[in-house]
Amino acid sequence: MWVRWLAVLAVLALAAQARAQAEPLGPLTADTSGFGQPLPAVAHNRAERALFVAGQRLFATPLSIPLLGPLFNNRTCVACHFQPTMGGSGEFISEIHTRADTTGLPVHTFAVDNVLRAGPQTQADATVFEHGLAAVPLGCEISDPNCVLSPCQQQEAMLKHFSTGLPICDPSSASFAAGDNCTAQRQSTNLFGLGLVEAIDNNTLIALANSQPPAIRGTPRMLIEFGALRVARFGWKDDSATLRLFAALALANEMGLTTPDLPEENTTCADGVMQFGVLLDGGHEPEDTPDASGRAMVDRVVDFMRALEPPPQLAEDAQARRGDRLFSAIGCAGCHVPTLRTAANPSAFIPPTTGGVALSAALNRALAAQTFHPFSDFLLHDMGSLGDGITSGTAGPTMMRTSPLWGVRAKVRFLHDGRTDNLATVIRLHDGQGRDSARRFDALSPADRAASAT
Ligand code: HEC
Ligand code: HEC
């Protein structure tokens, strides 16, 4: 029943009790088989399964110039969401933000005019990218100190106040208090089970916040999306409430594809510009439009994500039961809420596709009134020095969404910036509203252990 990493917590607690100087706990290497499957109801429904597979294919299909860019971070969704399989998290920093950029959007690492700086490129005899766009090397990165910035990249650096010399944001530092600019690095998150998260009623999340003790009470981030006031739940800073909008944001900001929901490019730097005979950007927006079935690429990647099953749970053993009790006893479960339930009728608030196709009755049934175990409240918390220093709407510099811990066993690095692969370190870095709980973890004594184990 319970996820295996709770057993790890029990092991960690033992290590803490033994006053071990350093816990030798590296990345979790537990069983990761079964990740990335469709919900069983989707697997057994021919039409739904076809949509899942079509979406999965587009999730992994590289964009080409002129659809790609002009500013972008990568060419496919899967490039950043692959660990341990398609739809997972990443193994590296895939996004940079700067404090002085008030849009809250990432600095784009690549620009098409830079990718083509050396002319159309091939690998061996093969053209590896339509129109000769490079595969390896993929242009130079704005974040590389040796990169000779292209015109688009220069504009990006100016707009985002980015330079390679900026320090990493520490919201508890004197430099931060003085208002200095800084950067925050971000890891991607895994997308398993997000259809269930989208299907949680707003009032469930609001009631959850109201039920939390004041010392750890979460803040629901309210957003108007698709004409309705909603509680945000996606992204490190709760940047969106619907998969449709998050997918549109990902297409716009990570890949530079404009969609019916976000039809503006981030820049016009490449509009109508030819380089080495290649048109960098056509300037016809949106680039992505619904097909005859009412689905654009943005809708299809949502079909895939919405139908992804949560990470499979491992069988409960004695260690896991013990870890679970400790998890509650020291207050982790206050924010990393083990169990949530979806709305009775998610189709009442889940938006249709960009072409106006409503959530199907079959998927609505699969997502309705489901009890699931994300180990998150999806609310923002003031995490003090663990905050990323970035302001995104009402999510201030120290505010972060409680990371869902389902599937954490498949991650190789933890926290928003992937700064550690050690779980004990992760817990100790919990500051602000998470500090008491982290201290209780450190203070676990044999007596506490006996108490929490009974
Ligand atoms: C360049 C890397 C990159 C690419 C490409 C990328 N993502 Fe992401 N993705 C991220 C990062 C980083 C985050 C965390 C962002 C944040 O919250 O600030 C993220 C978060 C998400 C989330 C929020 C998940 C959650 O935990 O709430 C969704 C949904 C998502 N991405 C979907 C997509 C889709 C769909 C695509 C393709 C259209 C895509 N991503 C392409 C890096 C990427
Ligand atoms: C006040 C709410 C709160 C409490 C209490 C809390 N956490 Fe967290 N936890 C968070 C937030 C918010 C994050 C994301 C922080 C970040 O990356 O900036 C997080 C991140 C994590 C992560 C990293 C997950 C990932 O995907 O990188 C782990 C593991 C974790 N917490 C475990 C625990 C444990 C174990 C406890 C109890 C000792 C605990 N947390 C208590 C809010 C909380």
Model pLDDT for residues 246-286, shown as the tens digit of each residue: 999 999 999 999 999 999 998 989 999 988 777 889 888 99
Band of the pLDDT at 336, cuts 50, 70, 90? very high
Q: What percent of the chain has pLDDT over 90?
A: 71
Query: How far, in Å, CA of 356 to CA of 227, rounded?
Result: 14
| Total domains present in the chain | 1
218 contacts 377 by C-beta, under 8 angstroms:
yes
Residue 15 has pLDDT above 70, yes or no: no
CA 443 to chain centre: 32
Residue 445: the pLDDT is 61
Closest CA to 75 of 247, 250, 301, 240: 250
Ligand 2 test: best mutation among 12, 326, 336, most atoms within 8 Å of CB?
Answer: 336
Structure tokens at 52: 């899942």
Would you say residue 240 has pLDDT above 80?
A: yes
Q: How confident is the model at residue 315 (pLDDT cuts 50, 70, 90)?
A: confident
Residues with CB under 6 A from ligand 2: 9, 216, 330-332, 334-336, 381, 383, 386, 400, 402-403, 405, 408, 411, 414-416, 423, 426-427, 430, 433-434, 437-438, 441
Q: What is the widest separation between alpha-carbon atoms in the chain?
A: 74
Q: Are 184 and 160 in contact (CB under 8 A)?
A: no
Domain extent at residue 155: 5-453
What distance in Å separates the CA atoms of residue 383 and residue 402, rounded to the nearest whole number? 10
Distance 413 CA to ligand 2 centre (A): 13
